Amino acid sequence: MCKFGFHSCKTTSPSVQLLYLFLCFSIVSCYTPVKHNDTQVENTAKESWETLNQPEYSVQYPSLWELDLNKKQNGGFELLSPAKDSFRANISLVIENLSSNNIRQKKYFELPDERIKRPTPRYTIIENEMIKRGTVKYQKMVYADEGYTCHVKFEKYCIISNDKAFVLTFGCLKDKFSAFQKTGERVLNSFAIH
């Protein structure tokens, strides 16, 4: 008779017992929960942050995010989340010179649809409002892009200062947006013009 447990089995050989033990560990390891990248995202709020200081602006970002100053022209940047998904959550800054375009602040804010339509023809604006934080007034726009094979959601801040538009954009897969939103907005809200 065989009871459950290796030390009580008298009818099985040691090699069968080892095989049984190996199979048990294999099965258990298949069912061990794996931390999802979204959990890693929320942990960035607890981890160290760095500050990027440029002549015109500064911004804080999680130290685990990848900073690229080479991809953006006119002094901008791109940040990529550590999550290795098909579409990585990202934050970018594009600086547009408005003095040569004869576009002033009021007119620039009236053209959000035109600025989105160019790169994303199939989009839905979820939120579009002017916000004043201290002495800084900016446009906050949240929109979803249905044009990609994967649906992406964006949160964009547009600040006009000294005839320049500083356009900060946080983008993420739509179904992961809430997991990255806290970190993304913390980066966006840390942005300061010098």
Within this chain, do residues 54 and 8 fall inside the same structural domain, yes or no? no
**Domain harbouring 149, CATH code:** 3.40.1000.10
Q: What is the pTM of this model?
A: 0.70
pLDDT in tens, the chain (194 residues): 443 343 444 454 444 343 333 333 333 233 333 334 444 444 544 679 999 999 999 999 999 999 999 866 678 999 999 987 778 999 999 998 887 666 555 566 665 555 555 555 567 889 989 999 888 889 999 988 876 567 899 999 999 888 888 999 999 999 999 999 999 999 999 999 99
Residues counted in the chain: 194
DSSP type of residue 121: S
Q: Residue 60: how many CA atoms within 13 Å on its side-chain side?
A: 10
Instruction: Supply the range of the domain harboring residue 94.
Output: 37-193
Residues 138/193, Cβ–Cβ less than 8 Å = no
Spell out the long-range contacts of 33-37 with Cβ–Cβ below 8 A and sequence spacing 24 or more. Answer: 37/82, 37/83, 37/84, 37/85, 37/176
Overall domain count for the chain: 2
Residues 17 and 46 in one domain: no
Residues 156 and 178: beta-carbon distance below 8 Å:
no
Q: pLDDT tens digits for 60-116?
A: 999 999 999 986 667 899 999 998 777 899 999 999 888 766 655 556 666 555 555
